[in-house]
Structure 1
Amino acid sequence: MSARGFRVQCNKWSVLVRLLLGEIPERTIFMQRGMERALRPYFELANAVRIGDLELFRTVAEKFAVTFNADRTHNLIVRLRHNVIRTGLRNISISYSRISLVDLAKKLRLDSANPVTNAENIVAKAIRDGAIDATLDHANSWMVSKETGDIYSTNEPQAAFNSRTAFCLNMHNEAVWALLFPLNTHKEKESAEKRRERQQQEQELAKHIAEEEDDDF
């Protein structure tokens, strides 16, 4: 029992560390036998971070506040709010080519006294950190997402396909050539035949010299 409790605690801290690092834990972590119930609060927490829903994040934090306090993880969970907002902002920047800061604050569900100013500061920091690819239109209070180029409108896919096709054809040709002409086989055969001819000529020459020497005597 104590060993299982230790594993549960390790998994809880592991989930929090990964969430703080901007990663989303695999679903299988929360489905381990005998741990589903204990890890349920952290599963709902990870789901709120994954979809970037600040309101859902608040609900989960309040719903399992007793559990988080008992686990002494409440202070770390508070820090996840920034990750939730950034994830939600990233999702919005992908979905909208342009959105007003007023609507952005509503979608992020910011609860500050001045949500528009808060949204502008959040967007500016996210752009500076490279979290989103967008610009701020201060005059009109918009966030303008930069268009993602369609790679299939360029020649790059064709060039990559041609390169792979050429590689496959060259490999096929080299394989056929290797089957038809095994490496150095013809050279080895040719040298063996020459060797036998040379040995035969040497034997005949030696025999002829011996016969001439016998005639002299």
Structure 2
Amino acid sequence: RHVFMRDETMSLITRLRQNVIKTGLRKINASYSRISLDDVCTRLGTTVEPANAYHSRIEFCLNIYSGAIRAMRFPDATEDEANTEARRKRLKEEQELAKTLEEDEEDLEDDF
């Protein structure tokens, strides 16, 4: 760099560098403008097909989830009330049975 400054050719080299960069950018721009956007989309894969495939996978998973939720059996509120009454009735019967067994045991003990 000092050599170019001493020879007073630094401005020439700077302009040459800028011109090379501009020419390179123009050539890149021209070559990319010749490629159609359809070709770019095809090469990059920016079509609708991947999104549709992804959507169908998600829809399949959601359908399986919905089917699993529908297949679960949730107790109805009316069944809970009926079950509560049935439990109370069973509990009373068990208590009565326990009392009769105790009375029978007492009767047996009295006999001996």
Q: What range describes the TM-score normalised by the shorter chain of this pair?
A: 0.3 to 0.5
- Structure having the higher strand fraction is 1
Q: TM-score, normalised to structure 2's length?
A: 0.39
TM-score, normalising length: structure 1: 0.25
Larger Cα Rg: Structure 1 or Structure 2?
A: 2
| Structure with the largest fraction of helix | 2
